[in-house]
Chain A
Amino acid sequence: MSDYPVLAGATATRKEQSRASAQLGRVRSTRSQRQAAVMAEAQRRREGEEWEEQGGAEETEAPKEEAPKEAPKEAPKEAPKEELKEAQKEAQKEAQKEAPKEEAQKEAPKEELKEAPKEELKEAPKEEAQKEAQKEAQKEAPKEELKEELKEAPKEELKEAPKEELKEAQTEAPQTPTRPLLATRSTSSADPDDDSPNMIVYRKIEDIVTRIQDETEGVPIRTVKSFMTKIPSVVTGEECEGTDIVQWLMKNLSMDDPAEAMHIGSLIAAQGYFFPISDHVLCLKDDGTFYRFQAPYFWPSNCWEPENTDYAIYLCKRTMQNKTRLELADYEAENLARLQRAFARKWEFIYMQAEAQVKIDRKKDKTERKILDSQERAFWDVHRPVPGCVNTTEMDIRKCRRMKNPHRVKKSVYGLAEEGTQSHSPVHTPSHHSRKGTREDVEKEILFLNTQLDRHCMKMSKVAESLISYTEQYMEYDPFMTSPEPSNPWTSDDPTFWDLEASKEPSQQRVKKWAFSLEEALKDPAGHELFLKFLESEFSSENLRFWLAVQDLKRVPQQEVAQRAQDIWAEFLAEGAPSSINLDSHSYERASHNLKDPGRYCYEDAQDHIYKLMKSDSYTRFLRSNVYQDLLMARKKPETEQGRRTSLEKFTRSVGKSLTGKRLTGLMQSS
C-alpha cells in the first residue's frame, strides 16, 4: 500500500539511509501533488472504519513488534475494560520506547487499534497548505506563551537571577525562529500543583541544577566562544568537566563520599538535566568528560510525553543533514526503519515536517545550532533511551492513574498541531479524591477524634526506652547485627544453623529467648512443649491446652469448625468439664453466646483472658521452674562432665531445687 520505500532489514546502513531519504524527496516533486496525495488519503480514511482498523493494524503492529515484556499477552477478560485500555496504552507507549529484545507480540487488542487510527485521522486532515501559515502564526504566539510560562512554572523552580537571564534571552534573540528553545508549544507548562512522585524529584533536581549553573557559586565553566554575553550557559553551551560537577555536589550537598556524589550526579544526568557532550549514555563520570546543561524547555518537569511522530521527525531530520556528528547510531537507524514501517501512510507528512525543521535550523548560527542539536539529542536520549539504558520517565502505574491533570494536552516538540483528546485518559477517576466531607463524615471524624483524645498517650521517654531495650535484647538474635553461630548459612553455605533451629534440642540461645515473653515461648514448638510438660507436672495444664485448642480451631477446615467448637466447650468450659478452666463471667457469657452460631473466633474473648492469666501466673512460674532452668544452664556444661558428678551431689542439688520450687509454688497458689 505504501508508496514509499521501506527499509527492509533491521539495520540500515548509512548509505541506505541517504538513498532512502533521497528517494523520498524525489517521489513528490511538486507541492500540489503532495497536497493531493495526502488529501486523497485522508478521504479514504474517512470513508471506511474497517479499512482504518486495518491501516491501524499496520501502524501499530510494528511498534508492537518491539513490545517486550511490557505488553499484555492477551486481552484479559476479567479486568475492567477501561482500566486495561489505559494500562495498555501505557504499555504500548513503553513498548514503543524500548528497543526489541524478545519476539514480537502479534496480538493487539482491538481497543488499541481503534485508538491508533484516530491519531492518524486527526493529523492527516491538517493540510500542508495550512501548515506553513500555522507555523508562521505559531512563531509569534509562543514567545508570549513562553514568557507566561516562565512567569508561572519557574516560580518555584528557578531562582531570581537565572529567571531574569532567561527572560532577557527571550527578548534578545527574538529573530531566531521556531526551534526547540523558542519553538511552538501547544499548551500548558508544568503544573505547579502536580505532585506526582516524578515531579517531586524533578523539583529537587532543578533546584540543584540551577545552583550548579549559578555564576558565582556554580561550577567553573569552560566558555565556548560566546556570541551573546548575558545568556546563561544553556544557550551558549558552556561546558564543564565531570570532576567539577562531582566536586561541586560533594561540597554543596555535604557529602563525604564521592561515590554518593556520583550516584546523585548520575541520577540527575539520567533524567536529562545535564549530559555528556559526546555520548548517548546519560551518566556522570568523575573525569574530564565534558557536560552541558539542558535547556529548561526540555526539562522533564514540563511533562513531555513525546509521540513517536515527533521522534520520527527528529530521526528523519537527522538523516537529511549531511554532518558526521549527526549520523544516526545503530539503534537509531533501527528505530527509524521501524517507524517508517509504522508510519508508512503518513511518512509524507513526517518527511515534510522534518524538512521544515531542517530549514529552520539552517537559518541559525552555527554555534547555536550545535548547542541546540546536542540538547535536542539529550532530550531524545531521555525519552527514547539507548537500548540497555533505563527509561527514567517511566512511572509506577499505580501513580499514573492519579495524575492530577488528565486533560493535559500532549505537546509536540516540533509544533505539530495538538493531539487533542487522545491524551485525555478515559479511565481517570477523580471521584474519591475530590470528595468533599459530608456532614456524616465530619460527625464520624468527631467521634473518632474523641476516642483518640480519651486514649492515654504514653510518655516518649518510656516508649523510647522500651524500643531501645527491645532492640538490645534481640540484638544477639539479629543476624545482621551479630554473626550467628555456628555460621550464617548464606555466607558459609553450611546449613547447620538451620538444622539446629529445627531440631528438638534447642540451643542455649534459643532457650534464653523463651524468657523474653510468653509469645516467644509459645512461638517455638520446643518452647511450648516444655511449658506444657511443666504445667502437666503441676496438674495445671488446662489453660495452655485450651489456648492451643483455640489456636487450632482457627485453622481447621470450615466444615469441622462447629464440631471442634463444641468439643472445646465440652472439654474446658461445660459444667463438670474434665479440664475446667477458670474464666471470668463476662468471657464465659460471650463464649456460650457465640457457641449458638459457632465460628472460628467464638472463643476470642476467652482466649485473651486465659492468655493474660498464663502470662502473669503460670508463665512466670515456668521460668523459675527446674525444667526450664536446667535446660537453660545445663546446655553450658558438656555431657561428660555431668556424668562424672557423684550421685550425692546430684541428690542434694535436686532436693534443694525441689524445696525452693515447692516454696514458690506455695506462695503463688496462696496469692
Chain B
Amino acid sequence: MGEMEQLRKEADALKDQITAARKAVQDTTLEEAAAGVAVVGRVQMKTRKTLRGHLAKIYAMHWATDSKLCVSASQDGKLIVWDSITTNKVNAIPLKSSWVMTCAYAPSGNLVACGGLDNMCSIYNLKGKDGNVKVMRELAAHTGYLSCCRFISDTEIITSSGDCTCILWDIETGTQKTSFAGHQGDCMSLAVSPDFSYFISGACDFTAKLWDIRDGNCRQTFAGHESDINAIGFFPNGQAVITGSDDATCKLYDLRADQELITYQDSSIMCGVTSLAPSLSGRLILAGYDDFNVNIWDSLKAERVGALAGHDNRVSCIGVSADGMACCTGSWDSFLKIWN
C-alpha cells in the first residue's frame, strides 16, 4: 500500500509541476491579446435549404469535401446522402441497426461510414460497380457503442467508442491497426488534424486527448470541463482544439501552450453543447445546444455574435462545409437545415 501511496504522490507532484509550468507562460490572456482586434458585429444567417426526409431523430451529419454533398444518420435506421443544393437524396441507405449515432464521409467521396449501438463501424461503398450501395466492411472490435468515426483516407478510419477507447482501422483488411486507450470515460467525439497526423478525442471523463496516429501515444491531455465533452474540433490552423460540453460551455485549448486559452459561456445558456464547428478562418465558432439553438461565438473575444434558431428540438450535429460557404445543422426534429 505504501508504494501506491508513494507513486500517487509522485504523480501529484508532477501534476503540480505541470500546472506551474503552464502558469509560467501565462504572460497574457487571449482576450487581452485580442483587445485590439476589430469586433465581428452581429452575424445573421438564414436557412437556405431544409433537407426533409428522415422520420426520426437525426444524430449525426458530415459534409463531403466537395462542399455540396453531405451524409446524415437518423434513428429511423437510414443513412441519407443529400445533394444539399437541390435538396435531393442521392442515396438512402437502410441500416441493419437503427440505433445509429454517427456517420462520416470519406475525403475521396467514395465511402461513407456509420455506427452506433451495434458497436460496429459499417463502411458503405457509394461508387459500387452496379450502382448499388452495399456494405463494404463491418469493423467490429469495440465493446461499447460507436460514438464517432472519421476517415483518414479510403483505407483508414478512426473510431471512438463508449468503451473508452479509439481505434485506427485498416479498412481493406477490416482489422485494427492501433488502439488508443487512456480515457476514463466514454469517448464521445473525435476530430482529425488538417494534416492527418494527429487526432483529438473528447470523453465523459471531462478531458480531451491529443493522439499521434502513427505511434498510438497520447501526446497531450486537456482538462477543465466540469462535465462530459460531447463535441470536439480542430481550429483550422491545426494548432488549437475546441471542445463543447454538457456544462454548457465551449473551451479553446492550444496545443503549443498546452492549456486552455478561453471559455465560451454565458449565464443565459443553461443547456449542454452537443456539437460544434469553426468557420473557415476560425474566427467564428458555431455550437449546437440542447435548447434547440445554435450559438455563434467570436472565437477571439468569447462573445456571442449570433444565433440560429429554427429547429423544434435539440440540435444534435453541425458542420461547416470545406469551402466555408455554408453550415448544416441536424436536429432531433428530423430535419437538416443549411444556413449562411
Contacts and interface: CB of A to CB of B under 8 A. Distances in A.
Contacts of B153: 554-555
Interface string B16-44: 01100110111111100110010010010
Interface stretch (A120-128, A171-179, A326-334, A393-401): A393-401
A452 B18 contact: yes
Given A465-B33, A474-B282, A267 B186 contact: no
Contacts of B246: 197, 200
B133 interface: no
A80 B119 contact: yes
Contacts of A554: 153, 155
Contacts of B101: 397-398
Interface string A447-476: 011101101011111111111101111110
Interface string A384-410: 000000100010011101100000000
A398 B271 contact: no
Given A73-B98, A201-B290, A465-B33, A457 B338 contact: no
Interface in B62-115: 67, 75-77, 85, 96-99, 101, 108
B127 interface: no
B283 A478 contact: yes
B311 to A, nearest CB: 10
Contacts of B96: 76-78
B293 A263 contact: yes
Contacts of A102: 55
A397 B261 CA distance: 32
Interface of A, secondary structure class, is helix
A569 interface: no
B270 A453 contact: no
Contacts of A394: 332
Contacts of A148: none
Given A83-B117, A267-B291, A72 B324 contact: no
A79 B340 contact: no
A121 to B, nearest CB: 29
A466 B27 CA distance: 15
Contacts of A443: 7
A79 B147 contact: no
A267 B271 contact: yes
B149 interface: no
A446 B43 CA distance: 46
B254 A484 contact: no
Given A197-B227, A604-B214, A470 B282 contact: yes
A201 B299 CA distance: 25
Contacts of A460: 25-30, 33, 257, 261
Given A399-B228, A457-B22, A464-B28, A501 B118 contact: no
Given A204-B270, A501-B323, A458 B256 contact: yes
B204 A402 contact: yes
A1 interface: no
A467 B237 contact: yes
A279 interface: no
A567 interface: no
A123 B257 CA distance: 61
B188 interface: yes
A325 B40 CA distance: 53
A448 to B, nearest CB: 7
A459 B284 contact: no
A133 B264 CA distance: 57
A488 B340 contact: yes
B234 interface: no
Nearest to B36: A468
Given A79-B99, A197-B246, A558 B325 contact: no
Contacts of B21: 453, 457
Nearest to A480: B279
A72 B153 CA distance: 32
A604 to B, nearest CB: 7
Contact of B325 (A77, A390, A479): A479
A461 B76 CA distance: 49
A470 B237 contact: yes
A566 to B, nearest CB: 19
Interface residues on A, range: 35 or more
A491 interface: yes
Interface string B173-199: 100000000001110100000110000
Given A446-B14, A452-B18, A87 B117 contact: yes
Contacts of A87: 99, 117
Contact of B33 (A68, A432, A453, A461): A461
A69 B338 contact: no
A195 B313 contact: no
B48 interface: yes
A241 to B, nearest CB: 21
Contact of A201 (B8, B272, B323): B272
A403 B155 CA distance: 37
Contact of B186 (A76, A204, A402): A402
A445 interface: yes
B27 A459 contact: yes
Contacts of B118: 76, 78-80
A489 interface: yes
B194 to A, nearest CB: 7
Interface stretch (A13-21, A53-61, A253-261): A253-261
B25 A459 contact: yes
B28 A433 contact: no
A292 interface: no
A499 to B, nearest CB: 13
Contacts of A362: none
B11 interface: yes
Given A457-B22, A601-B214, A442 B7 contact: yes
A5 B10 CA distance: 74
Interface string B220-249: 110000011000000111011000001110
B237 A466 contact: yes
Nearest to A195: B227
B313 A555 contact: no
A462 B261 CA distance: 12
Interface-centre pick from B120, B279, B333 (highest chain A CB count, 10 A): B279
Interface in B132-156: 138, 144-145, 147, 153-155
Given A195-B227, A455-B258, A471 B7 contact: no
A490 interface: yes
Given A461-B27, A467-B300, A76 B97 contact: yes
Give the top 6 A-B pairs by smallest Cβ distance, nearest first. Answer: A69-B56, A464-B33, A474-B281, A478-B281, A449-B14, A458-B256
Given A197-B272, A460-B26, 17 more contacts: A68-B55, A78-B97, A79-B117, A102-B55, A200-B227, A390-B332, A398-B186, A432-B163, A449-B11, A453-B18, A457-B22, A460-B257, A463-B256, A467-B30, A470-B282, A490-B85, A490-B325
Interface of A: 68-70, 72-73, 76-80, 83-84, 87, 102, 195, 197, 200-201, 204-205, 253-255, 260, 263-264, 267, 390, 394, 397-399, 401-402, 429, 432-433, 435, 439, 442-443, 445-446, 448-450, 452-453, 455, 457-468, 470-475, 477-481, 484, 488-491, 498, 501, 519, 554-555, 557-558, 600-601, 604
Interface of B: 3-4, 7-8, 10-11, 14-15, 17-18, 21-22, 24-30, 33-34, 37, 40, 43, 45, 48, 55-57, 67, 75-77, 85, 96-99, 101, 108, 117-120, 138, 144-145, 147, 153-155, 162-164, 172-173, 184-186, 188, 194-195, 204, 214, 218, 220-221, 227-228, 235-237, 239-240, 246-248, 254, 256-259, 261, 267-268, 270-272, 279-284, 290-291, 293, 299-300, 309, 312-313, 323-327, 332-334, 338, 340
27 contacts: A69-B75, A73-B77, A76-B98, A79-B99, A79-B118, A197-B290, A200-B247, A204-B270, A264-B268, A397-B117, A432-B185, A439-B4, A442-B11, A446-B10, A452-B221, A453-B21, A460-B25, A461-B33, A463-B254, A464-B29, A464-B261, A468-B33, A477-B324, A478-B280, A478-B284, A490-B85, A491-B48
